[in-house]
Structure 1
Amino acid sequence: MTFYAKSELILLRARMSYLIVAIIVMFLGIVSRRYGDSLPEPVAEHSGDVLWAGMIYFGVRMLFAQKSCSRAFGIALTFCFAIEISQLYQAEWINAIRATTLGALVLGKGFLAADLIRYSIGVAVSFGLDRYINNRILRSG
């Protein structure tokens, strides 16, 4: 196997790993919203947005697996902030999209400054886990 083929295989494995993690985080986010009544109030109130931002981080890592964790951090946080700030725009056409389930999950409904903090925490925690796991893999392999 050539070096190029090996590096492509490594990149594919990394992308698949990030996709799986993003799906798991998305599932946890949906569960946190659906069963929020069963969770402690602070967890129910904040976990959905924190997990959404984590899903965005791992999605960015999947798309740009060859880039650094730091770059993914910046892209994910910028994306999350842009989505939240876009909620200040309340035109009829975008509100119709936001009224759908998928539109509400992706675009949200209304601007909340607290969401910026939640997104920052979600991206930061995901970044930290990613760095920790990658450093463990590098040390053991």
Structure 2
Amino acid sequence: MIQLNTKRQFVYFIAVVLVIILGLASRKYSNFLPTFLAENAGDTLWAMMVYFGFRLLFVGKRILTAVSLSFLFSFGIEFSQLYQADWINQLRATILGALILGKGFLLVDLIRYTVGIVLAAFLDKLSLKYNN
């Protein structure tokens, strides 16, 4: 069980949960979304979830720390998709494995991750500005 020691950690936890719900909904109901959103929302929201997850774990650190870790993690996962060994492809064939590891390298995903991380950091900075 995660123990949330501060109000800020609780906010980041809620942000993670909400972004996960939105991300899963963007996949499940993609046929109801405009094409641009259907194609880009999932990966953008995934990167936002990564950012808020790092903020939850490292609540006392600067935003730049979470941004840097989010880029390293997200880009690392994407570049790992260039590795196509049987054992990791079997993991990717599972629902959870596909959600975490993806399936195949796409350069456009790096752009989607960048947008998601920058957007999350912007919302975070805005939230900190108005809640302090």
1:12-62 CA-partner distances (Å, limit 9, x unpaired): 221121011111001000000000001000000000000000000000000
Which residue is 1:48 aligned to?
A: 42
**Where does the alignment leave 5 or more consecutive residues of structure 2 unmatched?**
none
User: Which of 98, 120, 127 is residue 121 of structure 2 equivalent to?
Assistant: 127
> What is the one-letter code of the residue matched to 1:53?
A
Match of residue 77, structure 1, among 47, 71, 76: 71
> Residue deviations 1:89-135, cap 9 Å, x none?
00000000000000000000000000000000000000000001101
Q: Distance in 1 between matches of 2:5 and 2:58?
A: 10
Counterparts of 1:85-96 in structure 2 under 5 Å?
85-96=79-90
Write the distance in 2 (CA, Å) between the matches of 1:87 and 1:12. Answer: 36
TM-score (norm 2): 0.95
- State the aligned residue count: 129
Who wins on radius of gyration, i.e. which is larger? 1
Aligned partners of 1:14, 1:77: CA distance in 2, in Å?
22
Instruction: Provide the rounded CA distance (Å) in 2 between the counterparts of 1:135 and 1:14.
Output: 13
Q: Which residue, out of 6, 10, 29, partners 2:23?
A: 29
Runs of 4+ deviating beyond 4 Å: none
The answer to whether residue 14 in structure 2 is matched with residue 20 in structure 1 is: yes
Q: Which residue number in structure 2 is paired with residue 67 of structure 1?
A: 61
Deviation at 1:79, TM superposition (A): 0.5
Task: Return the alpha-carbon distance in structure 1 between the equivalents of residues 71 and 92 of structure 2.
Answer: 21
Q: Which has the higher helix share?
A: 1
What letter is aligned with 2:131? I
Aligned-pair CA distance for 1:137: 1.1
CA–CA distance in 2 between the matches of 1:93 and 1:73? Answer: 30
Please provide the CA RMSD for this pair.
Answer: 1.1
Among the aligned pairs, what percent are the same residue?
Answer: 47
Supply the distance in 1 between the matched residues of 2:13 and 2:71 (Cα, whole angstroms).
18
After TM superposition, the score normalised by the length of structure 1 is 0.89
Cα distance between partner residues in 1 of 2:74 and 2:80? 10
* Partner in structure 2 of residue 98 of structure 1: 92
Secondary structure of residue in 1 paired with 2:88: helix
